[in-house]
Amino acid sequence: MSTKMRAALLDEVGAPMIVVDDVELDGPGLGEVRVEVAWCGVCHSDVSQVDGVHPALTPSVLGHEAAGVVVEVGPGVTQLAVGDHVVLSPSAACGHCYWCVRNEHSSCVNSAAIAMSMLPDGSTRLSRQGSVVYRGLGLAAMAEYVVVAESAAIKIDADLPLDLACIIGCAVQTGVGAALNTAKVEAGATVLVMGAGGIGLSIVQGARIAGATRIIVSDPVEARRESALQVGATDVVDPTKDDVISVAQALTGVGVDYAFDAVGHAALVETGVTATRNGGTTVIVGAAPVDHEAKLNVVLTMFTEKRVVGTLLGGCHAPRDFPRLVALWQAGRLDLDSMVTNRRPLAEVNEAMADMRAGLGVRTVLDVRS
């Protein structure tokens, strides 16, 4: 049985999103649950789809960073029940493909659904006026309800407010995971983070949790540099006034152990490679425009033994990593509160997009129920 619901719809790339009340969502199938969405974060990737920086199928419901309450379970669901509070992940690992059996769940064949804006089976479960509606980046959470695989809805304790919990679904798992899972930052390491949005600040926190002793953050927005210091940065740089590479090398003597592009820009990848020491690692975390290509001197890279690696969702496996992240918040080691800086009703989705474009605050979350 389908449910008619309100949702924020990207109907035309380059145009403002529209909020409609006639999107239909099919009920949960085998191993799936229907979740009433409470809060949904606005990610830079959402803005990139609206603005045409990243390809987008239309019409689509955006939103891939959300939390809510289970309201219906399909056949075969064993780990969740109606009333459970959950954080949603845009990717549900299958558990049995080539990558999953090697514990590389973020590379699961199902992760392609993020780019396809569909479920892994090729369906969307969404329609409007008889025509298909796509799932922006795989989840489609700027809507009253979503249907997801059980493994993409991770139960959390009810003491974690859902307006904070939602950012675990993208920004936090991506950033903390990039530091802990992908780079494997170790105690005493030196780190450079370029970009202090939600993902960048999560990388800072991951590096702090790992025991990094010097965490340098570069961002042109003063308020974001201040936020970086609040969550664990030791040094901040305004890249419009100071040379990031020179600062990183001066503060460390030899270059940083790890550099992270938390924005998604080829020039920052190049900066990271230059700023790292011999044997250092640059991690590509932010999603750059599809036509960006970084220049790399192959021979110099060989001689200096520098590494460049990518990461999707911080190399996280939601059933494993989401409970760890919640536990870190409960222990006072992961700051979610200061990262949610703006709250808006779903009707103000375009204003939330404007917040992101202008660099206002760290994360704007949408109250989908209002």
pLDDT digits 0-9 by tens, 300-346 = 999 999 999 999 999 999 999 999 999 999 999 999 999 999 999 99
Question: Tokens representing 260?
Answer: 């992270």
- Band the pLDDT of 114: cuts 50, 70, 90: confident
Asked if residue 1 has pLDDT above 80, the reply is no
Place of tokens 């938390």: 262
**Phi then psi dihedrals of residue 328, to 5 deg:** -65, -40
Q: What is the mean pLDDT of residues 221-238?
A: 97
Contacts 24+ apart (CB under 8 A), 333-336: 333/209, 334/172, 334/176, 334/205, 334/209, 335/205, 335/230, 335/231, 336/164, 336/165, 336/167, 336/168, 336/172
Look at residue 345 in the predicted model and tell me its pLDDT: 98
- Band the pLDDT of 113: cuts 50, 70, 90: confident
Question: Tokens representing 251?
Answer: 């503060």
Q: What is the mean pLDDT of residues 253-282?
A: 97
Asked if residue 299 has pLDDT above 80, the reply is yes
Q: What is the DSSP letter of 182?
A: I
Look at residue 112 in the predicted model and tell me its pLDDT: 85
* CB neighbour class for 26 (10 Å; exposed up to 12, middle 13-18, buried from 19): middle
**Phi then psi dihedrals of residue 30, to 5 deg:** -60, 125
- Band the pLDDT of 71: cuts 50, 70, 90: very high
Length of the chain: 370
Q: What is the DSSP letter of 28?
A: P
Task: For residue 241, count other CB atoms closer than 10 A to its CB.
Answer: 7
pLDDT digits 0-9 by tens, 196-217 = 999 999 999 999 999 999 999 9
Domains along the sequence of the chain with CATH: 3-169+336-367 (3.90.180.10), 176-312 (3.40.50.720)
Look at residue 2 in the predicted model and tell me its pLDDT: 84
Q: Position 346: which residue type?
A: L
Name the pTM for this structure.
0.96
Look at residue 176 in the predicted model and tell me its pLDDT: 98
Q: Position 135: which residue type?
A: R
Look at residue 216 in the predicted model and tell me its pLDDT: 98
